[in-house]
Amino acid sequence: MTGEREFTYNYELAKQLKEELEEWFDALPPAFKFDRYFAVPGDRNPVPPYMDPRIAMLRADYFGHSIVIDWPLIELIKTGRLTSITLTEEEIVRRWITLCFRFITSLATLVDHYHPNFWIMANAYVPWISI
């Protein structure tokens, strides 16, 4: 084995994982819920809505998991193994890019607080968004 990986994208599995992530979010107590759809403006310093740093990790985790779910599709497109893109796939890519920006801005808010899990999060998810 050469260490090469073959990426595929299982649309049904991705759908199920996204549904489970939404179920997780819906089950959060109201005090732990966060705005998942905050705008990521085109300025140089987008800032997500303030959140207690102890809970902000949940927000970063949510966006990190969302990014990882669609990574196989992004990898197929990036490497040219997916030669044509449907409207559905284009929408997935658009959503993925927005989630990457939300993840980065969410993670950036933790830097000021020297959160102990910050570097673990950075190492876990950042390789997935380094295109």
Residue of 98, 32, 31 lying closest to 63 (CA atoms)? 98
pTM of the model: 0.78
pLDDT at site 111: 72
What pLDDT does residue 106 have? 83
- Tens of pLDDT, residue by residue over 16-53, are 999 999 999 999 999 899 988 887 766 566 667 787 87
Residues of the chain with pLDDT under 50: 1-2
Q: Rounded CA gap, 92 and 97, in Å?
A: 9
Report how far apart the first and last C-alpha atoms of the chain are (Å, whole number). 25
**What is the structure's pLDDT at 1?**
41
Burial label, 62 (beta-carbon count in 10 A; 0-12, 13-18, 19+): buried
User: How far is the C-alpha of 3 from the C-alpha of 21, rounded, in Å?
Assistant: 30
